[in-house]
Amino acid sequence: MRWLCLIFLFGLSAVASAQSDFEVRLGANLIEVEARGLPAGKLPREAEAIAGDHLHYRIWLCPVFPVQVLTPRGWLPAQAGPYRLHIQCQAGVNFVTSLTTGSQNTLLINQDQLAQRPLFAFGRLAVRQHHFQGGSLTEAYVPGALKLSDGQLTRWVQATGEGVADFFGRFPVDQAVLLITPLSSGSIQGVTFGQGDPYIRVQIPSRFSPAEIAGSWQLCHEMVHLAVPDMPYAHHWLEEGIATYVEPLIRLKMGDIRAQRVWLDLLEGLPKGIADVEAAGLDGDHRWGATYWGGALFCLLVDVRLRAESHNQHTLQEALRGVVARGNISQSWTLSDFLDIADEAVHSQVLHQVHEELERRAPINLDQLWGQLGVASSPRNPRFTAAPLDFVRRGITPEF
């Protein structure tokens, strides 16, 4: 019995000591880590040891960057987790993370979370909170780094989040982080991650004017990604296709673009995916055309068929709201999961049917579809005409 007690006590001791406490000090271009309960040992790459009888090191980072974007996996010692991090920032330095923070800037991280590569960024950051229907967004940006004012930037983020929440019936996730950093040139770049808690990273050329920001599509596209559960690689077309098709519909209702712009994008974009889809189907071709515009074609065909069969009573928007009611980017689904739940929301099998038809690789007659919808192509300005399904076209792109 004594031995059993000793084993039990040893087990409790092991559990209690399994969590490692770290003091993390953040400067403009350095990160210092100290763990008094751990002996000095193997350090992360690029770390500089600080003399002592316990784990203590610093990592110097590029001083010209206003924001350092890292994953904790890169600067924490391996095999020391789970970790409890106590974050301290030098004056003028702030941090943002997609991980849930506790009181007094404390983070709890386990090995599974490290493997998902969560966001951790610090530097000359300002942080603001946005609240939308059903969720919130933490916006972090570099004050004064862009041509537009900080207020204009924040109003753009707020308006876009409200537009996305309105389309899906709620903001797709309970909480997400948006990190905005400047670029020296080029165009807006965006990427969205769901595992390790959702976050969006957007890079904006510093020279962009308020008008250029207002006319851009990238932030809306990335926010739409929050609504779609993570798909296997073969079905990545669904994630990108939904974002490509839905983004202009949201911006139309926001008043950023007109209906002609929506149809012009489809007229010019869909042919870029037709050949790939006809050659290998949606699931068998992972090139850019099939992924983005093949996926958008799937969405358009679903939307048209649902609206035509129900006289605009059932729509792709309704199907996607059914998905968001059950999941989002933070979860992993199969394609069958998605199609089942979306079809259930609109009381049909249309999404399954369209997917099966595109997988059969039958020729796709876009000219016939445009004729049925009453969309006539002309240089840079589509014309709308009377047609059998013109009520579907007006349902997809009403003028506000």
Using 50, 70 and 90 to split pLDDT, how confident is the model at 379? low
Amino acid 284: pLDDT? 87
Once rounded to an integer, what is the mean pLDDT over residues 178-188? 93
* Three-state secondary structure readout of 95-146: EEECCCECCCCEEEECHHHHHCCCCEEEECCEEEEEEECCEEEEEEECCCCC
Rounded Cα–Cα distance for residues 380 and 131 (Å)? 37
List CB contacts of 219: < 8 A, sequence separation 6 or more.
156, 157, 160, 188, 190, 200, 202
The mean of the pLDDT values for the chain is 91
pLDDT digits (tens, 9 = 90+) for 242-284: 999 999 999 999 999 999 999 999 999 999 999 889 888 899 8
pLDDT over threshold 50, residue 13: no
Amino acid 5: pLDDT? 38
Using 50, 70 and 90 to split pLDDT, how confident is the model at 300? very high
**Which single residue is written with the structure tokens 């968001």?**
324
pTM for the predicted model, two decimal places: 0.91
pLDDT digits (tens, 9 = 90+) for 55-86: 999 999 999 899 999 989 889 988 777 899 99
Strand partners, 129: 138
Show the domains of the chain with their CATH numbers: 20-123 (no CATH), 125-216 (3.30.2010), 233-396 (1.10.390)
**17-26, 104-113, 146-155, 287-296: range with lowest mean pLDDT:** 17-26
